[in-house]
Amino acid sequence: METMAGHTIKDQLETYRQQLTSELANILNYWMANTVDEQHGGFYGKIDNDNNVIPASPKGSVLNARILWSFSAAYNQNPDERYLQIAARAYAYIIKYFMDAEYGGVYWSVDDFGNPLDTKKQVYASAFTIYALSEYYKASGVAEAKNNAVGLYKLLVDKSFDREKTGYLEAFTKEWQPIADLRLSAKDANEKKTMNTHLHVLEAYTTLYSIWPEQGLYKQIQTLIHNFLDHIIDNKTSHLVLFFDEDWNKRSQTVSYGHDVEATWLLLEAAEAIGDDELIEKVKKVCTAITDAVKEGLDADGGLWYELEPAEKHLIKEKHWWVQAEAMVGFYNTWQLTNKEEYLALSLQNWAFVKQHILDKQNGEWFWGIDANGDVMQTEDKAGIWKCPYHNSRACIEIIKRITKQ
């Protein structure tokens, strides 16, 4: 193969694969050793940056679903029985405490003892649960997991899908009634439709389709890809629009570099999963354009900045762990699409940045990120509602898989 920076690409890829195989084991070992709640069941709700468990913290459905997905996917790549045991623990906890047996769907959070806490039905949380249950079914063969995934899918189509304008409405009450506050987090805009939820509904449906290739689901995936092509991707800037009203009118200008680069490979994965050749070609062109737009957010050190507010020309120069994980995969994917070595170099540079700045070499796992001054963001979680093993384990799993097939 051709050389890049004095080494053959084959050699560089083998080194990359070996390093990510080692790092994946490190991530999973951290979660097995530090997060299992032996007293109250499941997993701790919060661990701070210094590795202290914060007692009586809420336990989030997204955290638990992401633990289930990560350990199931890791087992599917490398059948280590310890991974399946952790996945089974996460599955049992989700079924017992997060699934609403009366109204369907999943609670956003429960307390330390597993009692419902925030009972809002956030479509984002149901999507991650579908994603995790589908992956767990592949690992375990537990039919109940597949049935629960299909049931959640049918519920979302029934309760959240906008049959007139398409797309999914963001959130509902416990009883699936309209709700005033639709937001996932305090930083989000209070709007009916969001890029973030649509991206992860698409991701969930793609994985569900791999175990349940049903025609209605096929059409839903097609429609979701068209939602991105027709509404969510700004054809002038090639960035994703983050928030919309019910009629798909744009409600934000903020650029999220991490979501941009994450969408590039998830959109292509979805189009390929349903085998729609016309959509695959459209998505390939769009993905390369988005990747080139993302390069605006790269620092000289190989790290990817968090967000840009274009109107004020205000760049948030934090570099969060998940943004880097998605950059590793996104740039690698674009290299595979274009065969242009610059994209592989960007993926490798980003991994070098992660190794230098984001890996916690003392306590394990990845720091939340570094601030504009290059210092570790000390007040953020090591594990919590949003800090999960999913982005970084998935980056390792995805790139290992791609290199192995290379």
Q: For tokens 């449906």, name the residue.
A: 205
Beta bridge partners of 171: 122
Structure tokens at 270: 């979805």
Kindly give, in sequence order, each residue whose CB lies less than 8 Å from that of residue 94, ignoring residues fewer than 6 positions away: 61, 64, 65, 68, 106, 129, 132, 133
Q: Is the pLDDT of residue 67 over 80?
A: yes
pLDDT digits 0-9 by tens, 166-198: 999 999 999 999 999 999 999 999 999 999 999
Gap between the Cα atoms of 98 and 104, Å rounded: 10
Residue spans per domain, the chain: 3-405
Per-residue pLDDT band at 406 (split at 50, 70, 90):
confident
Inter-residue contact 241 to 250 (CB < 8 Å): yes
* Cα separations in angstroms, 202 against 55, 227, 307: 35, 10, 23
Gap between the Cα atoms of 54 and 377, Å rounded: 17
Q: Is the pLDDT of residue 5 over 70?
A: no
Gap between the Cα atoms of 379 and 377, Å rounded: 6
CATH architecture of 3-405: Alpha/alpha barrel (1.50)
Percent of the chain exceeding pLDDT 90 equals 97
* Cα separations in angstroms, 317 against 68, 120, 153, 305, 373: 32, 32, 37, 5, 8
What pLDDT shows up at residue 3? 52
Inter-residue contact 80 to 405 (CB < 8 Å): no
pLDDT digits 0-9 by tens, 199-243: 999 999 999 999 999 999 999 999 999 999 999 999 999 999 999
What are the phi and psi torsion angles at 165 (to 5°)? -100, -5
Query: What number is the average pLDDT over the span 62-83?
Result: 98
Inter-residue contact 34 to 46 (CB < 8 Å): no
Q: For tokens 């988005």, name the residue.
A: 290
**Element (H or E) spanning 172, and its range?**
strand 171-172
pTM recorded for the entire structure: 0.97
What are the phi and psi torsion angles at 391 (to 5°)? -60, -45
Inter-residue contact 319 to 370 (CB < 8 Å): yes
